Structures are given as C-alpha cells and as structure tokens.
Amino acid sequence: MTVSRSDVLALVTGDVDTVPSHGLVRGSKQSERQVEGVASSAYDLVAVPIDIAHPRTKDLTTDLPVVGILGVVATRIDSELVPVPGVRAQALLVALALSPGRIRSAQALIDEVWPGEPPRSPKNALQTQISRLRSVLPAGVLESYRGGYRLALGSDDTDLGRARVLTRAAEGRLAASQWQDALDGVLDASGLWRGEPAEPVRAQAELLEVTLRSVQISALLGLRRFDDAIPFARARVAADPTDELATADLMRALHGAGRSNDALSVFAALRSELADRLGTDPSPAVTALNTEILGHTAPKMLQTIGLRAAPNALIGRGEDLDAIEVLLGSSRVTTVLGPGGAGKTRIAHELGRRAGAHMSVAFVELASLRSEEDVASAIGATLGLTEADIKVGGLPVTRVHSIRERLVDVFSSRRGLLILDNCEHVIDEVAVVVDALVASSDAVTVLATSRSPMGITAESVFPLPSLGVVGSNSPATELFCVRARAVRPSARLEPDAVNRLCRTLDGLPLAIELAAARVKSMSVEEIDARLDHRFTLLKSADRTRPERHRTLHAVIDWSWNLLDASEQAALRRLCRFPAGFDLDAARQVAQWAAVEDISAALDGLVDQSMLSVVESPTGIRYHMLETVREYGEEQLDASGEAETVAARLREWSASVAVRVSAGYSGGRPAEMVALMEAEHDNLLSVMRHSFAQQFSDHVCTLFSVLGYFWAMRGAHSEVLNWADRVMSSMRGGMGGTPDDNAVMALLVLAAHFAYGGNLRRVARIRTDLRHLLNSRSAVSPGLRFDSEVVVHHAGGRGLARKLARAVRSEHDDVRCNAYVVRSMMAQNSGRLYESIRDAEQALAIARRRGDLWAVGSTSQTLASSYGLSGDYSRAVEYYRTSADVMWELHAFEESMQTRAFLAMALIGAGRVDEGRELIDELEAAAQGQEFTLDPPSGDDVGARWDHAQQRSNSASLTAVRAAADLEDGAVEQGLGGLRAALALGGWPSEDPSDPFMTILVCAAVGAHVLHGRAEDMDDAVAALTRKPWNMLVPGGFYDVPMLGAVACAVGSFEIHRGNRAVGVELLAVSSRAVGRQDFPSMRIDRHVRAARAVAGDRAVDAGLARAAVFTRNGALREILRLLPLV
C-alpha cells in the first residue's frame, strides 16, 4: 500500500476501500538492478588441446566442484559428478554456472535456454526447468530473486571457476620461478576437463586452455625441458603464425634443444607472416632474441625483481585484476587508485606475478621515501644500478649514464613492466620520472599504486573499489571467513552477521582483515557491537605489516597528513553526510573560513582517494568511506566546529525539504524521487540529530518529505515508528516549519492514523490542520485544498459544493485531486459511471502536467472501478499502466501490489496463462520472506504493520492463484487455496473494516457455493454477517459496492443452505447495490444462474423484480435489514 495525496483525502473522508490498502506482494524496499554478463578477454586466442595423458596423481573425491560444465553438464551427488538429465535443464545450469553468485534475469535465461525459439509460455517453461534443476542440485544452491535466479556458489564451486583459480595459481608460481609447481598446477587444472564443453562454455574454456598452454610452455622452459616444450610451442605458433610471444617461446625451446638453425627459421617465418599480413616488422624483443641466437648466445630468461610471494589467496579481486590487465594492454601507464587499506599493493604484486610469465618485471616500493629527490635513486637501486651511477639522496658521483638512459637500456631489448608502489607522497616526482621513461622507450609499461593520480598524458587510472558486500556469499564475507578461521578454526561465523559486519566496514579489505583477527578472542556479534570505536578495536598484531597498516587509524593518518589545510577542513566538515553529497551541499556546509574554494578542496580530496566520485541520476556526488567519516568526526570534535557544521546541515536539509515539497506539488515526482533517493540517509541523519537536540520545527520539516517518500515506497512502518516522535515535536511548535512542509507532515500522519483506525489521532490532526489553514497564508493551493477536504467532516454538508468549485479551479493540481476525490466518493456510492468519468478527467490533467504519480494512482482508481464491475479487460489496461508508472517512480512495492491486481484482472478476462505467469513472477519476488501467523509482541507499531502487510500479501497471492486454478477447472486445488488464503489473512480479521479481507471472504464463499461446497463456509459466513455493518451508513464510512458483494455472497450461500427466501432477496438486491465483482467467483450473473438451478426461475425472477424498485440507498438499507435475519 502506498499513500498518495488523493489517498489521504479518501482515507479521512471514508473512502478506505477504493485505495488498495492491501498489498499483494511485499518486495524489497530498494531497487535491485540486475547486472549480467560473462567473462571476456581482451585478446582473441585460439585454443590448443591440453595434453592430460599423464595427470598428476591427486585425490579429488572429497573436493569435487558442485557443478561441472567442462564436458558433460553435471552436478555433485554423493561425492561424484552425475550428468544432469534433459537438454534444457543442462542449458539452464550452464547459463547460471557461467556467473555463479550473480542474479540472471528470467528473460536472459529464456534467451539462452531457448535461443531464437522461445516456447509459447516462456516464463512457465522456465519455471518448470527451474523446478527440475532444483531437484538435482544440493539444497539451497538455486535461489530465486525478484525477476531472476542465481546459483549460491563461490567462484571455485564450478569446475570452470576452479580451473580459473588453479590457472591463476599456476601463473603465480611461474612468476615466482617455481617451475615444477607451476607445471603441476597446469596438470591439476587440466584434470578438470571431462570432455568437450558445451557451446556457451567453449569460448571461456578455450581461453583458459590457451593460458594453461602458455604457463606449461614457460614452466618447461624454466625446467630446461626444451624438447618437451617444442611440440606445445609449435602448436601455438601454428594456431596463430603472427603471435610473437608464442614464436619467441618456440625459438627459445629450439635453441635450448640445440636446434638454433630451426629457431632462426621460425624467426624468418614470423617476419614473412608479419610483412605479408600486417605490413610490419617483428618487435624489438623478438628481433633481439634472434640476434642472440645468431651470435650463439644463450637467451636470457625473463627476470622478476622485488616481487614477493603471495602469503595467502587473494580473494574477491578476479574481475579487478582482469580489468587492470586490459588497461595495461592498452595504456603505457596505469595507476591503481584507492584509499589506504583497499589492497592496492597486494593487487600490484599479483599483477606483477601474472605479467612475469611474459615479460621482465621490476617492483619498486616507494613508501619509505622521505624526499621526492630519492624517487629516481630508488628505482635505480631496485634495478641493481651501482653506486657509481646513482647515489641515493644526492647527485650522481660519475656521469656514466643518467637514470633515464639506464632504465631505457634495461627495458629496450624486451618487454618490461615497472611497478611503482605507494606513490602518493612523492607523486610529483614520480610523474616526472615516469613521463620521461615512457617517452624514451616504447618497450616499458608502468603500473603504479597511489592514493592520487600522476596527471600525465600517458596515464589511465583504475579506481580500485571496495570488496563486494551484497549477499552472504560476497567477496567481503568470504575474505572475513577465511581470515577468521585462520586464527580460530572453531569460530561460529553466521553468514548474515558476517555480512552485516563487512557492510559496516565498507568492504575495505584491511578493515576486514583486522576485524577477522579479533575473532581470536571475540565473536562476530561482539566485534560488530564495538565498531563504534573501530579505531581502538581494529589493530594488528602482525609485525610484518608496515607501520602505516598496523591500525586503521594509522591508515587514515597517512592520507590526512598529505592534505593541505583547506582539504582537511573540508573533510572534517563533510563527514556527516552518510549518503554522500553534491557540490551545492558541500558549498552550503563546508565553504567558510579555512575553505575559500570548495571545488578545489574536493578535487584535492578526490586526488588523495579520501572521496570517491559517483555519477548519479541527480548529477555528480561525492562519497566518503565510513572509516574516513569516523576519522573526520574525530577531527571535527577536536576543531571546535561541530555546532557550526550541525547548524549548516540543518539549513541545507531544510532547503532540500522545501525543494522536494514544491516539486511534489508542482507535479514533478520523478525528479523528486531521484533527489530523495540520493539524500534520504542524509535527511534521516539530520532529523535524528534534530530530534535529539530538540529542534522541533526542523523535525517536522524533514518528516514532511521523508514520511511522504516512505509512504510512496510502502515503508509505512517507518512512518509509524516516527509518528510519536513527530507528534511530540509538533507539540513543541512548528513555527519554523515552512507552511507546505507543515501541512504535508500532518497529511502523512493523518493517512496512516486513518488506515490504522486511530480516530482520536485523526481528530487531533484535523484540529491542527484547521489551525494551520487559519494562521498561514502561504500554503500552496493544492495542499490547501487537500487539507480543507481532510478537515471537512465526511458526512457534513457542503463537500459536494466544495468539490464542484474545485474542479473549476485555475490550478491543475487542485482540479486533478478534486476529480479524484469525487471519483472515489462516487465509486463508494455505487455510481460507477460518474466515478469513471471523473477519474478519466483527473487522468487527462495528470498526463498533461507530466505528473507520473498522479497518473499511476488515478489509473489504479480507474482499474478498480472497472474491476469491481466485472469489466476485467478494461481493468487490465489501467492496472498495467499504473504498475509500469509506479515502477518507473521506484515505488516498487506499490508496483508489485498493482501487478497482483493485474494478474487477477487477467484471470477474470480469460487470460489465465498470462495471469499465472505474472503470479509466478510475484511469488519468485516474494521468496525468502518468512513470517509467522502470530503478530510480533511488544509495542513496535511499525513491526506490527509490517507483519499485517506480509500476511495480507501472502493471502492475496494465494487467493489469486486459487482463482486461476478454479478457472482452469482444478476445483479442489482452487477451493483449498481460497481457504488457505483466509487463514493466512487472519479471517475473521482483527480489523473488521479491512476491505480486502471482506473481498477475499466474499470470493471464497462465492466459489464454494458455485462448486457445491457451501457447507465448508459456515464459519466464514457467520463471521461475515457479524461484522459491524452499522459503520457503513451515511454519516459514517459507507461503501455500497462492498455491501453489495456481501449481499451476493451471503444470499447465494443461504439459497444453497436452505434459507431461500432471505437468500433470494439478498442476491437480488446485490445487483442494485452494484456489488463488487473483483474475483470471477463474485460475479453476480454466475450466482443468479446457480440460484435458478436451486430455487427455480419463478422465485429468482420475483426477487429480481422486487429489487428493481430500490435506489442505491434503498438497496443499502434493505441489505442492512436482511443481514441480521441470516
């Protein structure tokens, strides 16, 4: 349920049931944008089959992958891989296994399982294959999400993923000159192939095979097994005669085996191929190798300098490594940017080990330098240049060669990678040296890690993201668990608790590792609870860590000390934006005194990786890691600026609230939704602080837009959880709250109190609104009209005249809302023609204004009118429009609920297959949302609301599926589903005025009667007739179509249970009351036909003739007279 402005008017004027107060599907509160894709390569390589005739002996029976796709598609069952039956199920498993852990949309899976020829009902067919696949996979592996599915597996739980892991490990061993281990790793990886992979897997498998072949050849060369390497190297050259790396490997193997002339012939063939095909010459490196062979000089093996062996597995960085490798292939200089603790150094070592299989690599650590003058000397020292050439910290002793000349000399004869680590504190000199180096030699590539970029033309930057934290199998969670078990193998690591902790730590690898180390003496929950003091908690006892990485505080200190005074001031003043900020917000909050130019300060913070930049729908935004924010709070407290910053934040947030309220009133909801999505957490943080500091008027200002936004999103529990605090703040005064915001806050509260039946609070809100309308003159016309309708008593005189004047207003929003209110009032009175006419007028105005929210809610009103009258085809049209618009506005829960109404309308219109398809999607979206039938204990109003909503959602979906079963002839299944829906919904309802449960029980009673099972509904009818219908009379909340539906259901029931006289009268008068017919089992014509078969045509015709004389109000009174006689 989502509350619009027109809903507010309906709620407090008695038109409760015309607004969908019952949610049909409760989804997540945030959009889950699905990202799909498969691994790709920057190179187009041709595969050569791996020789696995002599695999290394290894027991894999206890460590099989869960899914196998390198060969026959299979899954692990009882310690062996068992083929999956069925071509479609195999294709589906392959599509999911190519991206384990990632959500694949239903449409993407359909396209891959049925390429070019989808079945008649593709989503039903997909659901069938999903069910079959679940039956052969381990429990819990195949998970459903909104609109898609995923395999809950790690990267090495498929044989393809494990092959990647083993391949990277083999590359690392090769880089460390561990030739035999590298060769063994190749054989282990090759052993995962069980045959020819399926077509979708083939490209990735071939790419891995190429990499494995390259590692195998290099390892054999390292072991000086030249004869063994020759056939493999020759096969690579045959696959691509212009592959210079493969040619060089073959030349080395032939020369090492004493076949130098053959090696020279291979070079001659390469030169000819390159000239004929590309018009180029061989590279300097291959040419130099040819020259060495000509001189009978043994070729030099590739060298790696300064690289450290990996202490443990690198987790969660596979995609980042691949992306950086692509940059290294296209850019002369690549800088990996990130804050301290992001894992830049570890990434650089891993990239160096990978590159070492193909080129010389030198790794230079610059963290210890204290002077920029020492940069060139440090590089030279790492490369082994002598003191005669370079003297650290001083001038050259002799003028033999400059550092530039020596570096060019080192890298000129072969491809080389120079890695410069921790450059930020000497970045200016690093930029000068690197720029000179790449300008002098085209053979060298530079990889740098830094918290700030060099800013030279040759540079490409890669901002290293934090580890992913989404889901219990996220890379951040995996890293924590691995490191925690290393210090305490018996530790209890509950996935959700670990994931929550990792999210709090921003996915920052250093923070996660430091937290995992505390598992030695603390539980995960205890660590999480103490993160308010993270700088004290997160310290390392690892003496091998650099001093700057011993504590989280030291990591941030290192960057803080590199900032100038303006940047430091900006950072501490901007640390109270949990959701980030834009330039305008930064200017309002931070540009004063020490900060003269906030743009320049932000640029400096971005350059030092203290801020990240994100392009959002509202424009460029700056984000600060939680760890940096906490550090900023320390600095803010110490600066004495905290109160000034808090005051400026209140001023900024008030300006946002005024802008949002004006945008909603001005018919720009899409723009305001984007703004609220961006600023929600910031506004909520300021509202909490304002409440704690008793800034009452500011609490009301912010609640006006936050409450409205929550209502749009279906987060009604948030509104209710804040209701008491806001009411308390209102008692403190709203003198400083802008007029429109004060009115909006009261209207949001009124809507929720009315839905909850809290009439005393509704009366209080009305009183406050009257006072506001009388005392404030600047309330906008639309909100003033809304408020005047709310304070107008539902049964009072003059409302019709007020609405008649309002529909002729010069203000579009006033006219639109007036038509909506009049439409809903007409619907509740059973005047459907008038209701539809006014709703169409409102819809035309909303479309002309471009007010998407009004378009969505008014379309829903129109759909409801058509649906209750049994015109399901027209209802489908408007429900679809409403659902699509709500989705566009990111009102996801409202959209899902409307789609459930759409499914019911499709079923009523005879399009049962389409209705079922939609139900499947809705149920998949709701999977995993468990709840109990008993409401939560305690006084948490929001939790009780959420529980009631979940029960209603579940009941709704169950009932809609039951209706589809009945239309398809599955009577027992359909009737059982309706009874289950009543139980889920808690009938008899604790809230006797709940309109949806009344509709649902009427549908259930009607269905049982029509299918000869009326006796099963004795208790339901007894409860239905005991409901306090005296509420539904003029002067109270009356609803003629609802009462007509009750009359139809009870009358039909009584006819079939023997009380024919009263039953016929009730059934006959139900049509005069325009009884609701939302479900096919509520259709009055079906019940009239059934009554004729039992009571006879004469009795039914006589009843219909007597009922024909009643007006709608007369029909209402007659129903109220007859119900107590049942």
Listed in sequence order, the DSSP H helices in 714-851 are: 716-731, 739-755, 759-775, 781-791, 799-806, 812-828, 832-849
**d(Cα 1112, Cα 1073) in Å, to the nearest integer?**
5
Q: Which of 870, 867, 974 is nearest to 916 (CA)?
A: 974
Query: What is the rounded average pLDDT of the residues 590-603?
Result: 91
Backbone phi, psi, residue 362, to 5°: -125, 125
Backbone phi, psi, residue 550, to 5°: -70, -35
Query: What is the rounded average pLDDT of the residues 769-774?
Result: 88
**d(Cα 912, Cα 924) in Å, to the nearest integer?**
18
Residue 37 has pLDDT above 80, yes or no: no
- Any idea how long the chain is? 1126
Gyration radius (Cα) of the chain, Å: 36
Tracing tokens 């349920």 back to the chain, one arrives at: 1
Joined together, the tokens standing for residue 704 give: 């006006």
**d(Cα 162, Cα 168) in Å, to the nearest integer?**
10
- Three-state secondary structure call for residue 284: helix
> What single-letter amino acid sits at 975?
L
Cβ proximity of 1077 and 834 under 8 Å: no
Q: What is the tens place of the pLDDT at every residue in 927-974?
A: 645 545 455 555 555 556 666 677 777 888 899 999 999 999 999 999
Query: What is the rounded average pLDDT of the residues 693-701?
Result: 92
pLDDT reported for residue 705: 93
Helix (H) / strand (E) containing 867:
helix 852-868
Query: What is the rounded average pLDDT of the residues 986-1000?
Result: 72
CATH number for the 930-1125 domain, one of 3.10.350, 1.10.10, 1.25.40, 1.10.443? 1.25.40
pTM above 0.75, yes or no: no
**d(Cα 1047, Cα 1065) in Å, to the nearest integer?**
9
Joined together, the tokens standing for residue 417 give: 């990678």
Query: What's domain 1-28+797-918's architecture?
Result: Alpha Horseshoe (1.25)
Tracing tokens 């039914």 back to the chain, one arrives at: 1100
Q: Which of 830, 891, 829 is nearest to 859 (CA)?
A: 891
Residue 855 has pLDDT above 50, yes or no: yes
Helix (H) / strand (E) containing 1084:
helix 1084-1095
Q: What is the tens place of the pLDDT at every residue in 50-94?
A: 332 333 333 333 478 888 888 888 888 877 888 888 888 888 888
Give the pLDDT band of residue 550 (cuts 50, 70, 90).
Answer: very low
Query: What is the rounded average pLDDT of the residues 639-667?
Result: 92
> So where are the chain's domains?
1-28+797-918, 67-151, 159-294, 304-463, 475-537, 643-791, 930-1125
pLDDT reported for residue 34: 28
> What single-letter amino acid sits at 821?
V
Neighbours of 101 (CB within 10 A): 21
pLDDT reported for residue 305: 82
- For the 159-294 domain, the top CATH level (class) is mainly alpha
Residue 651 has pLDDT above 80, yes or no: yes
Fold of 304-463: Rossmann fold (3.40.50)
> What single-letter amino acid sits at 459?
E
**d(Cα 542, Cα 99) in Å, to the nearest integer?**
36
Sign of CA dihedral 631, 634, 637, 643: positive
Cβ proximity of 714 and 685 under 8 Å: no
Neighbours of 915 (CB within 10 A): 25
Neighbours of 296 (CB within 10 A): 8
**d(Cα 65, Cα 54) in Å, to the nearest integer?**
21
**d(Cα 137, Cα 66) in Å, to the nearest integer?**
8
Question: How does DSSP assign 25-91, residue by residue?
Answer: ----SS-----------SS---------SSPPP---TTS--SEE-SSS-EEEETTEEEEPPSHHHHH
Give the pLDDT band of residue 400 (cuts 50, 70, 90).
Answer: very low
Joined together, the tokens standing for residue 262 give: 């053959």
Q: Which of 63, 60, 85 is nearest to 74 (CA)?
A: 85
CB-based burial label for 53 (10 Å; 0-12, 13-18, 19+): exposed
Cβ proximity of 598 and 622 under 8 Å: no
Task: Let me know if the fold of 1-28+797-918 is the same as that of 304-463.
Answer: no
Mean per-residue pLDDT of the chain: 81
Give the pLDDT band of residue 757 (cuts 50, 70, 90).
Answer: low
Residue 466 has pLDDT above 50, yes or no: yes
pLDDT reported for residue 544: 47
Joined together, the tokens standing for residue 317 give: 């960085």
Cβ proximity of 447 and 419 under 8 Å: yes
Q: What is the tens place of the pLDDT at every residue in 470-481?
A: 877 888 888 888
Share of the chain above pLDDT 70, in %: 84
Q: Which of 377, 369, 348 is nearest to 427 (CA)?
A: 369
End-to-end CA distance of the chain: give it in Å, rounded.
34
Cβ proximity of 632 and 581 under 8 Å: no
440/389: higher pLDDT? 440
Alpha-carbon dihedral 133, 135, 139, 143, rounded to 10 degrees: 40
Lowest mean pLDDT segment, chosen from 330-339, 398-407, 449-458: 398-407
67-151 classified as CATH 1.10.150.530 = no
Count the helix, strand and coil residues of the chain and give each as a percent rounded to the nearest 5.
60, 5, 30
Residue 536 has pLDDT above 60, yes or no: no
CA atoms within 13 A on the CB side of 285: 23
Residue 997 has pLDDT above 70, yes or no: yes
Give the pLDDT band of residue 377 (cuts 50, 70, 90).
Answer: confident
pLDDT reported for residue 668: 86
Q: What is the tens place of the pLDDT at every residue in 138-161?
A: 877 888 776 688 888 877 788 888
**d(Cα 202, Cα 181) in Å, to the nearest integer?**
27
**d(Cα 789, Cα 791) in Å, to the nearest integer?**
6
Q: Which of 437, 204, 409, 174 is nearest to 309 (CA)?
A: 174
Tracing tokens 């000199």 back to the chain, one arrives at: 429
Neighbours of 39 (CB within 10 A): 16
Cβ proximity of 601 and 590 under 8 Å: yes
Peptide linkage before 396 cis (omega within 30 of 0) = no
Tracing tokens 């072949």 back to the chain, one arrives at: 213
- For the 643-791 domain, the top CATH level (class) is mainly alpha
